[in-house]
């Protein structure tokens, strides 16, 4: 998606350790008009599947998932990062290893908000090693829901997550795929 790629070129900052900083428009300050165009594009890409719920993960996914949901006319559920795990049978849980912080945390979704009748589109800001997505997919599977696909804003194509998730047969649509990046030359996109 050219609009997103142009924005990344203009305002994205390449950090050490393979981290792309996009906090000026994506995950701290948020460019809502850009989010709206991203939502429109995901709706176009997933027009052929019956999505009735969007699932994302706190915190960065929530804003873009909500704006996208206005194009799908469906509710958004976000997986919560649990502080201490309260396993009372009322929640689905999964463990996620954080790319940016390097530690493992639990994510939970209430059983009230996801079940076998649901057709889920997962939305998230980044796809790197695929750990966040694996956790969300596990939650969809635990709920017995149908996973219709995954919409990602920025996929880092030089990390293994995209291939890992697609090899499970999951349809992943990334709006910008970074082929390579470094502080000197900036960001290069695939395609």
Instruction: Tell me: does residue 172 bind ligand 5GP (CB under 6 A).
Output: no
DSSP for 162-190, please give it: HHHHHTTT--EEEEEEEEEEETTTEEEE-
The single residue among 69, 128, 145, 147 that binds ligand 5GP, judged by CB under 6 A, is 128
Instruction: List beta partners, residue 187.
Output: 181
Instruction: Tell me: does residue 130 bind ligand 5GP (CB under 6 A).
Output: yes
Instruction: Tell me: does residue 181 bind ligand 5GP (CB under 6 A).
Output: no
Distance between CA atoms of residues 16 and 100, nearest Å: 11
The single residue among 122, 161, 187, 189 that binds ligand 5GP, judged by CB under 6 A, is 161
Instruction: Tell me: does residue 151 bind ligand 5GP (CB under 6 A).
Output: no
Buried b (16+ CB within 10 A) or exposed e, 80-93: eeeeeeeeeeebbb
Instruction: Tell me: does residue 78 bind ligand 5GP (CB under 6 A).
Output: no
User: Which residue spans within the chain are E strands per DSSP?
Assistant: 13-15, 19-21, 53-57, 76-82, 91-97, 104-110, 119-127, 146-156, 172-182, 186-189
Instruction: Tell me: does residue 129 bind ligand 5GP (CB under 6 A).
Output: yes
- Taking the least distance from each CB to ligand 5GP, the nearer of 16 and 88 is 16
The single residue among 20, 94, 109, 136 that binds ligand 5GP, judged by CB under 6 A, is 20
- Taking the least distance from each CB to ligand 5GP, the nearer of 17 and 89 is 17
Beta carbons within 8 Å of 78's beta carbon, 6+ residues apart = 55, 56, 57, 58, 61, 62, 65
- Taking the least distance from each CB to ligand 5GP, the nearer of 100 and 180 is 100
Please give the residues from 100 up to 119 whose contact with ligand 5GP meets the rule CB under 6 A. 100
Shortest Cβ distance from residue 132 to ligand 5GP (Å)?
A: 4
C-alpha neighbours within 13 Å on the C-beta side of residue 25: 20
| Residues that bind ligand 5GP in the complex, under the rule CB under 6 A | 19-22, 27, 60, 99-100, 124-133, 156, 161
């Amino acid at each position: 998606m050219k609009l997103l790629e142009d924005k990344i070129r203009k305002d994205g900052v390449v950090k050490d350790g393979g981290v792309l900083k996009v906090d000026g428009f994506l995950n701290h300050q948020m460019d809502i008009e850009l989010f709206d165009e991203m939502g429109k594009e995901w709706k176009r890409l997933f027009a052929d599947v019956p999505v009735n719920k969007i699932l994302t993960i706190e915190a960065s996914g929530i804003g873009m998932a909500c704006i996208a949901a206005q194009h799908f006319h469906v509710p958004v559920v976000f997986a919560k990062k649990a502080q201490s795990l309260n396993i009372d049978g009322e929640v689905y849980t999964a463990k996620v290893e954080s790319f940016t912080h390097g530690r493992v945390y639990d994510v939970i979704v209430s059983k009230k908000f996801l079940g076998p009748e649901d057709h889920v589109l997962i939305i998230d800001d980044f796809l790197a090693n695929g750990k966040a997505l694996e956790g969300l997919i596990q939650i969809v599977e635990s709920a017995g829901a149908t996973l219709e696909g995954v919409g990602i804003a920025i996929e880092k194509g030089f990390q293994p997550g995209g291939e890992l998730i697609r090899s499970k047969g999951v349809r992943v649509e990334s709006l910008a795929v970074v082929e390579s990046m470094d502080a000197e030359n900036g960001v290069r996109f695939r395609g």
